[in-house]
Chains A and B, each alone.
Chain A
Amino acid sequence: MSLLDETVSVPRRTMTLFFMIDTSGSMAGSKIGAVNDAVVNVLPMLDEISITNPDAEIKVAALEFSTGCNWLYNEPKLASEFVWQDVQANGLTSLGAACEELENKLSRSKGFMQSASGSFAPAIILLSDGAPTDNFEAGLAKLQGNNWFKSAIKVAIAIGDDADKEVLAKFTGTNEAVFTVHNIDALKQIIRVVAVTSSQIGSKSSAAGDTTKQDQVISEVQNAVDNIDGAEVATKVDGSSYADDWD
């Protein structure tokens, strides 16, 4: 095709999977160990999806947050090239700052969404065990104004009972996208299920949305969660939010 000569580039499309990992002090020990283990093991699975998927390649970016926040690498890496370095747990829980940092990078001109992403929304997986210690509302508000975030698949994994599930539900937009785990095994399994499902669904070409990708991910993960011991799904919200008669 002379019209598609060397002067014309048709890039491969990319879907980016973001891990936002709570590395505050309370995650120390077996929890952070489980996270490290789970991510290391899920990367090859993501790579497989990337290779066999004709629609898009999958890139991974990881943001750890404790007292401050920090990207593991300065740009998203292909799953096959992503070398996971174990993260350590120490400090506070600056989820607000992490939201702002994520919002910075969810941009085409100066962020991570540069490489010809065509029409793939990113997937964002938030892992946390506790409540934020900074101004989370402000950070989230900024994030919610971002178009990429609005279209993203958002899932949160709450680790243990101390996790502030309301906060996580605010992040994902629905408490159905918040999955709680109570033991280490469940944690590992769910990280795997969520990452794989988000990548599979996220990187498929879909049409003008009926069921959003987020909803598809939620329903598939819910099905899988039934089989994971120690993991639970949030119950459906009661539709009527009105107070009773005041008399």
Chain B
Amino acid sequence: MKELNTGDKISLLNGGFVTIKKELGRGGQGIVYLVDMNGQPKALKWYHNSLDQAFYNNLASNVMNGAPSPAFLWPERITERQKGSFGYVMALRPQNYYEFGNFLLAKKSFKSFQAMMATAMKICNGFMMLHRFGYSYQDLNDGNFFIDPNTGDVLICDNDNVMPQGEKSGIMGKARYMAPEIVAGGIPDKYSDRFSLSVILFMLFYANHPFEGAKVVACPCMTEAYEKKFYGSEAVFIYDPNNKTNLPVRGIHQNVIRRWPVMPAELRETFIREFSPEMLKNPQSRMIEQNWGKLIASLRDKLVVCPHCGEETFIDEAKPQCMNCGRDVDVSKKLKLGLRTLLLTNGTRLFIDFDNTPDARVAINPQDRNMLLLQNLTKDKWTAETPSGKVKSVEPNEFMPVKQGIKIGFNAQYKGEIIINNQ
């Protein structure tokens, strides 16, 4: 394969062409160039080796179908075969997005838990949509995710290996993200993707791999044989309550050692269940994306701003102390939303649905500092019903008081009620 030069024109399938500007980077599979497409800057990934027709066809069809969700930096156009190879055009990755690997090594950190939750939610949604479209991921690794540490926005890249479920693309992802049955040689599908999702979420929250503990540290050099063992046949969750042979090690797994007790119990329980030996052997019973979404929403519901020290904290209703300053946080005011309970404290933003745009803001009434207000941050009108039966509407950006018994209809899908527990 010849490498491309500045000025080269590459023709696209179904018409048009792009002009090469310069090289942006290169990896195992190909080289990425900055190109111009009708005056727009784009990126072109050009493969080192001409891959087979099946791959080409799959890529072309992915282009046709479009991205399953905005989380994916998806191939926009595929080139014609030329100069001994081919490639695809995609949007440029925006500045200030960093590879997930940087977060794992703590070179970069989330600005806030809120941002971390946003990333988790978007990845979940992305996977859910991917599977709805009938795809499975195939080549998942930490190089695929680019995250903005301030907002938590995430882009999933390198989507050229996305395949319909049940097909094996031949590109094997790192064993770390592969379900044990795939490490053993099986074919990736949505169940093994769910495993990968659980690993990614674990790594997002704890910056540590769920199977990397004392066992993995035993060998100075990770060989294929060890990999098959540690991530496959003999995988043990680091915090498996019944198997303490793989606990995290001081000095090496510091991130998870610090964060495991700090993040809510709900999260711990979920992971202990998902990575238990029984679950590992049972791909079909793995938690579906929707339920991960519910879990993340539930965490967000408990994430408030401490009125004393101003820092974010998760609140356990049973023991409502701030994680940072230790002082009690008033959890008497809540919004019940179906099975969910959202805590209302000044400064907190509420996420009603499962996207990453806050839907409401909690503020203090300047005239009566004992009363909280709720601001409508959505584009829709809310309908509120008071305990005495009066119906009021809350336009976008308007405020409403937080008073016992008020029912709020946020939209057709979500309806909540304010509950105030008086001490």
Contacts and interface: CB of A to CB of B under 8 A. Distances in A.
A247 B346 CA distance: 12
B309 A242 contact: yes
B309 A245 contact: no
Interface in A218-247: 242-243, 245-247
Contact of A247 (B309, B325, B327, B370): B370
A246 B369 contact: yes
B307 A245 contact: yes
B331 to A, nearest CB: 14
A191 to B, nearest CB: 41
A246 B309 contact: no
Interface residues of A, number: 5
A243 B308 CA distance: 7
Nearest to B308: A242
A130 to B, nearest CB: 35
A167 B163 CA distance: 65
Contacts of B307: 245-246
Contacts of B308: 242-243, 245
Contact of B369 (A242, A243, A247): A247
Contacts of A242: 308-309, 325, 327
Contacts of B370: 247
Contacts of A246: 307, 369
Give the interface size bracket for B toward A.
under 10
A213 B6 CA distance: 61
Nearest to B310: A242
Contacts of B325: 242
Nearest to A243: B308
Contacts of B327: 242
Contacts of A247: 369-370
A247 B307 CA distance: 10
A243 B307 CA distance: 10
A197 to B, nearest CB: 37
Nearest to B327: A242
Interface string B58-83: 00000000000000000000000000
A247 B345 CA distance: 13
A247 B325 CA distance: 18
A242 B322 CA distance: 13
A153 to B, nearest CB: 31
A82 B308 CA distance: 55
A243 B309 CA distance: 8
Interface in B317-355: 325, 327
B71 to A, nearest CB: 39
Interface string A61-95: 00000000000000000000000000000000000
B370 to A, nearest CB: 6
A242 B309 CA distance: 7
A245 B307 CA distance: 8
Interface of A: 242-243, 245-247
Given A242-B308, A246-B369, 9 more contacts: A242-B309, A242-B325, A242-B327, A243-B308, A245-B307, A245-B308, A246-B307, A247-B369, A247-B370
11 contacts: A242-B308, A242-B309, A242-B325, A242-B327, A243-B308, A245-B307, A245-B308, A246-B307, A246-B369, A247-B369, A247-B370
Interface pairs A-B: 5 shortest CB-CB: A247-B369, A242-B308, A242-B309, A242-B325, A247-B370
